[in-house]
Structure 1
């Protein structure tokens, strides 16, 4: 059966984007909606309300992941899942993640408008703590859903104030009773703004993501000792802040050495205690990440970072330890789903560009669970994780339309 060309309601879709943009406003026109905070809870309530008004059953799992379900003709079949996230960075934009969740809602609403039934159910998911801006690491909930970490591990993660994920869920009543994962998913679709300049530069409205940069993250702990900044001789100092600085410079220099291979290292955050004038800090924590297009290069970067830490320890007279590390990226997304999206786009007259993702997305973890595909749409100048992040309804409509048609075909439209 040849599918007709299905259309979304662009104005309705964009109205949901604008409504989201009013919840958790940032200092400079963007958003500050950290995972499981009051603004995130408000946005979740709005999203749930939209879903329930449309007649979709909403289920919440124990990590607060929200699933809105549009029934299929055969409810015994595993659902087609569309997802992304509604939380943002501390100084985030209005579209990162949000476009993907609300595009999923628009897909289901459009199918209702067109009175189209699908053989399989379709679900839209909002993943908890994708950004990792409040709780480390990012993409936490989808990692657990895909069976790559335990629920207990996730619930015990803490924010800067020592609040656990479990406590934050309880504070706003965001935890559900449903288990996290452990069920069959037919396929996973994620649409996301590119967070890079390639689509805009090429004048192409849709990117088909073939894989992700291989990324690693580390939390490095530096232990020193408190001392007076005046009388303490230099040779007796164990300043953890200095040890962290030595490690930070070493990590940054490694990034420059691999820049010709598009390797990147980032000093994401530095914490120190007590971090006050007049006293040497006895503790410091350094958060770093590094990535490249291929596993071998990332592995080489990791080896150099690990080899550089003893020298940072020696020069600062401190102990430097990798306390925790994590990884994401690298999978090749499902060839059949990528081909489906390419064919759908061609049928609709939407140009596409194959590219890799350099940022983290929940689709990485879902790709270990079920066939998955990641689609990119343009954003102005590739700016993201910045309150100046920008795009338009016209930029997003082609990608959301392709998503609608591809999901409909995957879910099974026909008599």
Structure 2
């Protein structure tokens, strides 16, 4: 059985959420636990309440809305994503999955469809990991990957502690941040954030897994000094060492594999003055690949390059791996449900491996999981230029809804 969402209402809801934290360039600046995050959470709470869902907020701020099924013995189908954004990001990343889940519930209510399994929709806390690290923080705590007390203590660049900010916006709930219900499956809708679906002129992506990755930071300690009178032979320039390694981070992927990617997204040079040799520099690495052994090799290589650069420039140094995630293969029955839905809806779909991490990474440890991808035009994301047409958004959301209905009626746990 397939269902199709109310297209006009779906678009209107997407546009409505995009006004909360909107930027002048039609993007979104809605950092986790910010005032804008509180506003979108309040809005989402109201939407769930209007649909008669049983709402609960856990102690890490994850928001759940439950629609009961006809069989109380059945485990629930969980569907959702996140409503926080990157700094000056796009309006689709994360939000599309939450709105798709909400519109699925609205359509079931409109058509009076009673599913056998309960259905829950979710907004995960801090998927982006931009204000507080790591990414996928809320789902990671919920799945038992991260210790909640450690995550509560995390601070942002201004020194604001996570737990205090969660309390400030009123979303530190009382429900334990763990699976308090019986779950049998999870589906997540997201934009691809890459060019592959667009290049192949597909309507929708059937995601069969997620790459593994490593995130970390290196700090070099040199000696700050005057850039004029200090002879070159006396310099211990922390930024020179960092530049050498950053160049290698760009080159390492080409040595390892076609799907390997690597980047430096953050650099902090101190004292950051035009007339002072940088005495301390912190910069990050990030590598991703579907093969965990390749991720490990990239990790090993960046530390080798970091040590070599430190020796060349006479620097002290330290490193920290801030996050490591293994690659994930999704459950075949969920992947097949998505494939059937796309086929019945007449959409041209292809299987694809996600190049970005998602909350589905953590749910896959607990229950059968799979994802639907919407086409990203030009593959852009984490920027205000992020764009997915309403047509592609709608097709992906319909695929999610029809796959969700299929699973909510017939879902069984794989042995």
CA contact (8 A) 1:83 1:126 kept: yes
Is 2:378 the partner of 1:393?
no
Q: Whole-Å Cα distance in 1 between the matches of residues 99 and 250 of structure 2?
A: 37
**Offset, 1:211:** 1.5
Deviation of 1:27 after TM superposition, in Å, equals: 4.0
Matched-pair contact (CA < 8 Å) for 1:116–1:413: no
Q: Aligned match of 2:149 in 147, 152, 155?
A: 152
Calculate the aligned-residue CA RMSD, in Å: 2.0
* Match of residue 125 from structure 1: 122
Distance change >3 Å, CA 170–CA 230, structure 1 → 2:
farther
Structure 2 residue corresponding to 1:28, chosen from 25, 29, 53: 25
Matched, 1:13 2:30: no
Q: Deviations over 1:344-400 (max 9, x none)?
A: 222232222011111111111111111100110112222211212122322122222
Whole-angstrom distance in 1 between the partners of 2:389 and 2:60? 32
Residue 341 (structure 2) aligns with: 344
**Contact 2:216–2:319 at 8 Å: present in 1 too?**
yes
For 1:53-202, what aligned pairs fall within 5 Å after superposition?
Answer: 53-75=50-72, 77-183=74-180, 184-202=182-200
CA deviation digits over 1:277-312, x for unaligned, max 9?
333443321111012232232222222112111111
For 1:75 and 1:99, the matched residues in 2 are separated by 30
SS in 2 for 1:390: coil
Report the alpha carbon displacement of residue 267 of structure 1 after superposing the two structures with TM. 0.8
Inter-partner Cα distance in structure 1 for 2:251 and 2:348: 39
Cα drift, residue 14 of structure 1: 1.1
Matches of 1:176 and 1:315, distance apart in 2:
52
User: What residue in structure 2 maps to residue 224 of structure 1?
Assistant: 222
Change in Cα spacing, 1:394 to 1:155, as seen in structure 2 (3 Å) is: same
The C-alpha deviation readout for 1:310-361, integer Å capped at 9, x for no partner, is: 1111122212222233222511100111112212222232222011111111
The answer to whether residue 285 in structure 2 is matched with residue 288 in structure 1 is yes
Asked whether the 8 Å contact 1:117–1:413 carries over to 2, the reply is: no
State the TM-score, normalizing by the size of structure 1: 0.93
The correspondence of residues 374-393 of structure 1 with structure 2, limited to 5 A, is 374-393=371-390
Q: 8 Å contact 2:209–2:329 — kept in the other structure?
A: yes
| Matched residue SS, 2:36 | helix
Which residue does the alignment assign to 1:214?
A: 212
Partner of 1:46: 43
SS of the aligned residue for 1:412 comes to: helix
Query: Deviations along 1:158-214, whole A, 9 cap, x unmatched?
Result: 211121211221221221111111433211100111112222233321211112222
**1:316-327 pair list within 5 angstroms:** 316-327=313-324
Cα distance in 2 for residues equivalent to 1:14 and 1:276: 48
| 8 Å contact kept, 2:269–2:282 | yes
TM-score, structure 2 length as denominator? 0.93
* Further displaced range: 135-144 or 199-208: 199-208
Q: Which residue in 2 is equivalent to 1:369?
A: 366
Which region of structure 1 is more displaced relative to structure 2, 92-101 or 280-289? 280-289
Give the number of aligned pairs. 410
1:255 and 2:246 aligned = no
CA distance in 1, matches of 2:199, 2:321: 38
Residues 170 and 239 of structure 1, relative CA distance in 2, 3 Å threshold: farther
Q: Distance in 2 between matches of 1:282 and 1:70?
A: 57
**What displacement does 1:140 show?**
1.2
Encode CA deviations 1:52-101: one digit per residue, 9 max, x unaligned.
Answer: 11111221112211111112224454321001111111121110111000
- Asked if structure 2 preserves the Cα contact closer than 8 Å seen for 1:141 and 1:154, the reply is no
Cα distance in 2 between the residues matched to 1:366 and 1:355 = 19
Structure 2 residue runs without a partner (length 5+): none
Match of 2:270 in 1: 273
1: CA distance, partners of 2:34 / 2:60: 14
CA distance in 2, matches of 1:215, 1:171: 32
